[in-house]
Chain A
């Protein structure tokens, strides 16, 4: 499968150079540390710790997910990719890479977070798990698409969060709400609507992305 081959290429490149992984892990550590230091000895509420969790996730995503397209653009290999694959293949491959990256990052963040924040206790773990999975997929899709947009613009670093935030906002709001519900121990039944929203978001974003990517990719 061509898209899978593209993913393998990116993965091999990453393993060989280790550009992203090192800086990303440090970024996660730094972000969590900043939050810990800002809180100091104060006790924070559950809801607050739940919200901050997604803040860390958002900024880590902004740090790591643009690489997929920006590195190609900066090295001049965008043309090479255009010569060997169709736009759909390119997007699928990059999306797959970012999906893996998002899950890897967020699992690390979740583990670190639950270890370091006492108020981050999930009574309904299954609810959180579903929200986590659906949410990560949504973050990956939207972030990949926006990454392809900013790769073609200047001031990519600052532009990326500016463009991504409005698009990710409905997702983040729902995720924060679901996290709170998971902490409260709300049942699956009552959270059904929120989970459906996450699912809808994923479906809509993926459809829109595939349709629009051609226009971004081709000059």
Chain B
């Protein structure tokens, strides 16, 4: 992705690494941003394949003069530090998602209810200044407020909600157009949707992609509320509901239910720790 100049990963990427989807994508993006002339740009697909590993080895040889490159980037290892240190500008600040469309009457059968612009809401109990973590990523006050409102109503720990928001939407940058749906909630029968690509896993862990309907929400607050309701009422999350007082255990209990990724809980916990999200509970 153009403009990527600083990344933070939660687990190792490359040969023998944890290779979580978002970490691999982040590494592929920063390698492309610092691409040596000998390498072709990597496909940003979140898969640590041979080309990604070869690129890591080349980066290790070129930038930190590693005699025997191991083809793996670690979260606090020298190679990633070097890549982050070679940035040409300050660490990127995630901005709010682009404004959604303003629907107009269509000659075709019109959607039942148009998506409305995101509405910023005042933080419920935390000042905005506390939403700026040490590592440069910004949690918008509206997100914190919506997660806390969801916790008050549905008991879901706000830290878990915020971690899911950051992972599922790429800090608000990867929502399907016009959806106000940062959690990747699929549409059910009778619910408005947009079609978007989603990743599925074969039994052997390999990825494939399908086109699926994602729910459309009028506002981001509605999305957070429905996310809380889903976790608070759906039978699939019964085990998680026994862990309301322990955000880490709650996150673990979402593994295999909210997401098929078997590292999902671990990734959420890493996100909560890295960005001190526990303070919002």
Q: Do A and B come from one complex?
A: no
Mark A residues whose CB is within 8 Å of B: none
Mark B residues whose CB is within 8 Å of A: none
